[in-house]
């Protein structure tokens, strides 16, 4: 039985479950709406169901998920069968929310001399470096990193659970980038082709190889790409590792916005059938960026390994401010 603190937790995974069989089939009932596969404990066979806090509390007291608090009885310490009273409470604290110690420490009036010191050898914390601004040209010679098949949530893009300890270290947590996405070409997760070597390897390792070679990449996805938790790491990790664009049939709204904030290109197929044209060994150009404007489609050119090429329009939802984020390298880069 677990008690959830009032904090961000369900969105980014819950706990490292200590068990002799990490893949054992089991069922849990939770009061938070994050019941995707592996979200709670990393086990794909944990079936998570959502109920109200009252029902979850009753089940925890009974220790039995078949318990019905409306009809079933429990044995109290005196050996008497009793039923749980219906819960009640006040909507707001009678004395308000005023506290003597709010835990708030006011910042220095002049912060120009304040330094944030982080151990360079820390595996959990890392100071962020500003992302590079757009180079002012179309993007050419990009490699396909992965063509994701089917559902690709933010948990597939940036897995939670045991990765929580790296949330303050962008480079380390980037080692989980897209490891849950299914590769269209082999139906496997975390196994993509490195076009430079022809060898299949983990998605983060392959992307790091492209980055080391100075080559940008494109991630291609299916419908509602980036659904689920709004975690920004799902946008920051590909940006950090050198992915230049995410091209999908459709986006989950919050993830699309997060990509824009990190200076990424979030594009959608004008014709969803063009998804089928993307091949494993493609080199990709994205044209029209020198005239990037709201409502104006861009053009994607696929250069296939057999020497042929195909082009098609792609759409975007960038407004003038968001185009400014892209050109600056990120929204944060525009903050003085």
Tell me the per-residue pLDDT of 225-247, one tens digit each, with 9 for 90 and over.
Answer: 999 877 899 999 999 999 999 99
Residue 14 has what pLDDT? 60
Residue 2 has what pLDDT? 56
Q: Which fold has domain 139-334?
A: Aconitase; domain 4 (3.20.19)
Q: Are 243 and 269 in contact (CB under 8 A)?
A: no
List 147's β-bridge partners, or say none: 220
- Look up tokens 């493609």; give the residue: 282
Residue 15 has what pLDDT? 65
Whether 76 has a pLDDT exceeding 90, the answer reads yes
Q: Which superfamily is assigned to 10-82 in CATH?
A: Aconitase, domain 3 (3.30.499.10)
What is the rounded average pLDDT of the residues 97-125? 87
7 compared with 268, residue with greater pLDDT: 268
The residue length of the chain stands at 336
Residue 122 has what pLDDT? 97
164 compared with 291, residue with greater pLDDT: 291
Residue 257 has what pLDDT? 98
Residue 8 has what pLDDT? 59
Quote the distance between the C-alpha of residue 126 and its chain's center. 19
Look up residue 102 and give its two tokens: 């709010």
Whether 10-82 shares its CATH topology with 139-334 is answered no
Q: Are 312 and 300 in contact (CB under 8 A)?
A: yes
Task: Give residue-wise pLDDT tens across range 245-291.
Answer: 999 999 999 999 999 999 999 999 999 999 999 999 999 999 999 99
The proportion of the chain whose per-residue pLDDT surpasses 70, expressed as a percent, equals: 95
What is the rounded average pLDDT of the residues 291-318? 99
**Is this prediction's pTM over 0.85?**
no
What is the rounded average pLDDT of the residues 57-74? 95
The proportion of the chain whose per-residue pLDDT surpasses 90, expressed as a percent, equals: 74
What is the rounded average pLDDT of the residues 284-301? 99
In the chain, where the domains are located: 10-82, 139-334
Residue 7 has what pLDDT? 57
Whether 1 has a pLDDT exceeding 60, the answer reads no
What is the rounded average pLDDT of the residues 299-321? 99
Residue 11 has what pLDDT? 64
Whether 16 has a pLDDT exceeding 80, the answer reads no
CA 274-222-239 angle, 5° bins: 100
Query: Residue 166 contacts by C-beta under 8 Å, 6 or more apart in sequence?
Result: 123, 124, 172, 173, 175
Residue 22 has what pLDDT? 86
Q: If you average pLDDT over every residue of the chain, what do you get?
A: 92
């Amino acid at each position: 039985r677990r008690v959830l603190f009032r904090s961000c937790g369900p969105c980014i995974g819950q706990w490292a479950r200590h068990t002799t069989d990490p893949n054992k089939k089991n069922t849990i009932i939770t009061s938070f709406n994050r019941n995707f596969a592996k979200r709670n404990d990393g086990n794909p066979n944990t079936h998570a169901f959502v109920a109200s806090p009252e029902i979850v509390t009753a089940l925890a007291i009974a220790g039995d998920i078949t318990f019905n608090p409306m009809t079933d009885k429990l044995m109290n310490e005196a050996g008497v069968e009793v039923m749980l009273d219906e819960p009640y409470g006040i909507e707001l604290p009678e004395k308000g929310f005023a506290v003597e110690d709010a835990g708030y420490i006011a910042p220095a009036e002049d912060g120009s001399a304040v330094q944030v010191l982080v151990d360079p050898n820390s595996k959990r914390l890392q100071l962020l470096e500003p992302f590079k601004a757009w180079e002012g040209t179309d993007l050419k010679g990009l490699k396909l990193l992965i063509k994701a098949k089917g559902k690709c949530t933010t948990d597939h893009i940036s897995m939670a659970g045991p990765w929580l300890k790296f949330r303050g270290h962008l480079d380390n947590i980037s080692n989980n980038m897209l490891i849950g996405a299914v590769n269209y070409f082999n139906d496997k997760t975390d196994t993509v082709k490195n076009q430079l070597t022809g060898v299949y390897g983990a998605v983060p390792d392959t992307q790091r190889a492209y980055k080391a070679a100075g080559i940008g990449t494109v991630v291609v996805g299916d419908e509602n790409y980036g659904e689920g938790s709004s975690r920004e790491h799902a946008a920051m990790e590909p940006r950090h590792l050198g992915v230049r664009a995410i091209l999908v049939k459709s986006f989950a709204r919050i993830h699309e916005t997060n990509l824009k904030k990190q200076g990424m290109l979030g594009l959608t197929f004008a014709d969803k059938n063009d998804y089928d044209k993307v091949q494993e060994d493609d080199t990709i150009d994205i044209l029209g960026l020198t005239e990037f404007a709201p409502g104006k489609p861009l053009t994607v050119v696929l250069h296939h390994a057999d020497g042929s090429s195909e082009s098609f329009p792609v759409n975007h939802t960038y407004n003038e401010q968001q185009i400014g984020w892209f050109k600056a390298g990120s929204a944060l880069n525009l903050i003085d």
